[in-house]
Structure 1
Amino acid sequence: MAHPSTSVAEALDVADARHWTRRPPVRPATRLRHLLRDQDAADLAPRLFAYPDAVTRWAAGDTVGLNPAHRTLIEREIYRTWQPDARRRAHQQILHHDGCVTVQLHARFTYTTSCGEFHDPRVRPLTEDLPTVHARALFDARHRDADEDELRCILADGIGEAYFFHALPADQQQAAVAISDLHFVQFHY
C-alpha cells in the first residue's frame, strides 16, 4: 500500500507501517482470518463491499469471487488494524521525545476570517513539520478511529499554525484554515 493517498487515515496507516515489528500476512485468506479474530464477518463485510458469507468463504481459502478491488480493501484493513500496540508505542515515543511529524501534501485551502470565507484555487504543495499539539491530536483521533473529516480538520489546523500563521503573533491568528480539496498526503516520522 505504498501508493499515493488522498486519505489522511490511510497516509497515517502507511507511515505507521514503518514502525511494525513483524510483517503482516500476505495471502488474502490469512489476512481475512486475522481480521476475523477481532470482528465478525457481518461487521467486516461492508468495509470490503462483500457479503458476510463471501468473507467467511474467502477466509477458509475459497477465493472464488475475490477480485483485485477486494484484495486492495483487505490490504487497507490490515494496514488499519495491524499491530495497534506497536503503533501506540511508536506514537508515544515520537511525542515524548519531541519527535518530528512531517506532512507532505498537495491541497487546496479555504480560509475563514472575520471578513468572510476565501477559497484559494491553487493546489499548494507543502511540506511542513506539524506542531506537537496537532500531531498528538492527530494520533489520538486515529487511535479512536475518527472519521476522515475530523482528521482533515486537525491536519488543517496544524498546517495553519505551522505554515500560514507561523509569522503572526498569537493575537492576530484569527483565521481558520480548512482543506477543501486534498490531492496527495504523506506522513514521515
Structure 2
Amino acid sequence: MPQPTPTTSITHALDLADARHWTRKPPTRPATRLRHLLTTQPLEPLAARIFAYPAAVARWAEGDDLSDLNPTHAVLIEREIYRSWQPDVRRRAHQQILDHNGCVTAQLHARFTYTTPNGEFPDARLQRITEDLPALHASRLFEARHAQADDDELRRILADGIGEAHFFRALPHDQQQAALTINDLHLIQFYY
C-alpha cells in the first residue's frame, strides 16, 4: 500500500490515508489511469483539473503518443486516481472507523491564529502537532470529503477539531468560545 507522503492539501492527505484501505491497487501507467478516469468523469473537467487540453488527454488515454505528457501532468493524473479510486471501499472504511470509535489522527506542521471574545491572536511559531480528532469532527471531515468540499472547508473542519482536541481542552469554561484558524500549513497527514 502507498506510504504517506508530505502534502499541504487536506484533500490529498485524506486520499492518501484512504489508500491504505484499498482492496486492490489502481493502474500505474498514465494511459491506463486516464482510461479509468474517463469512465468515471467527463473529458473536459478532467482535462481542466490536470491542466491539459482535452485533445491531449484523449490522445494520452489511447497510449499512442505520450511525448508531451510532462511530470506535472503525471502527478496530477496520479492525484485524480487517488481522489476517485474505490469510492465504495472508502465510504465503508470511513463508516467502519466511525461506528467502532476508531481514531482519526492528524499530524500537521502549521501556524495558527486563536480567536477569543477578546480578539484574534496570531502565533508566529511553526508548530508540529499530532492529535486524535474528536469523533464529531472526524465525521464532519469524512462527510465533507464525500461531498467534494474544497480544501478551505476541510481546513475549517480540521481547525475546529484540532482546536477542541489540542488547544482548548484545558481552557476555563468561560473561554470555551475560542476558535482556531490554520494560517500556514506546511504538512498534513492522516492516519486511520
TM-score over 0.5 for the pair: yes
Report the TM-score when normalising by structure 2. 0.96
Query: Which residue of structure 2 aligns with residue 11 of structure 1?
Result: 13
Q: How does 1:150-161 map to 2 (within 5 A)?
A: 150-161=153-164
Identity of aligned residues (%): 69
Tell me the equivalent position of 1:51: 53
Q: Aligned partner of 1:17: which letter?
A: A
- 2:33 maps to which residue? 31
Q: Of 142, 145, 149, which residue of structure 2 is paired with 1:142?
A: 145
Q: Show the 5 A alignment for 1:21-170.
A: 21-61=23-63, 62-168=65-171, 170=173
User: Which 4+ residue blocks in structure 1 deviate beyond 6 angstroms?
Assistant: none
| Counterparts of 1:142 and 1:119, CA distance in 2 | 28
Distance 1:28 1:63 in 2: 9
Unaligned runs of 5+ in 2: none
Output one character per residue of 1:72-107: Cα deviation in whole Å (capped at 9) or x when no partner: 000000000000000000000000000000111000
SS at match of 2:46: helix
1:41 deviation in Å? Answer: 1.3
| C-alpha deviation, 1:170, in angstroms | 4.8
Q: What SS does structure 2 have at the residue aligned with 1:85?
A: helix
Cα deviation 1:100-135 (Å, max 9, x = unaligned): 001110000011111111110001100000000000
Measured after TM superposition, the shift of residue 169 of structure 1 is: 5.1
Question: CA separation in 1, counterparts of 2:55 and 2:5?
Answer: 30
Q: How many residues align?
A: 189
Structure 1, gaps ≥5 residues long? none
Query: How far apart, CA to CA, are the structure 2 residues paired with 1:36 and 1:56?
Result: 9
Q: TM-score, normalised by structure 1?
A: 0.97
Deviates more, 1:167-176 or 1:17-26: 167-176
C-alpha contact (below 8 Å) 2:116/2:175 kept by paired residues:
no
Please tell me the root mean square deviation across aligned C-alpha atoms, in Å: 1.1
Letter in 1 for 2:101: D
One-letter code of the match for 2:66? Answer: T
More displaced 10-residue stretch of structure 1: 82-91 or 162-171: 162-171
State the shift of 1:40 in Å: 1.8
Are 2:133 and 2:162, in contact at CA under 8 Å, matched by a contact in 1? yes
Structure 1 residues 87, 170: closer, same or farther in 2, change over 3 A? farther
Deviation at 1:3, TM superposition (A): 2.6
> C-alpha displacement at 1:38, in angstroms?
1.5
Aligned residue for 2:124, secondary structure, equals: coil
Structure 1 residues 46 and 15: alpha-carbon distance in aligned structure 2, compared to 1, 3 A threshold? same
What secondary structure does 1:93 align onto? Answer: helix
Distance 2:137 2:172 in 1: 18
SS in 2 for 1:139: helix
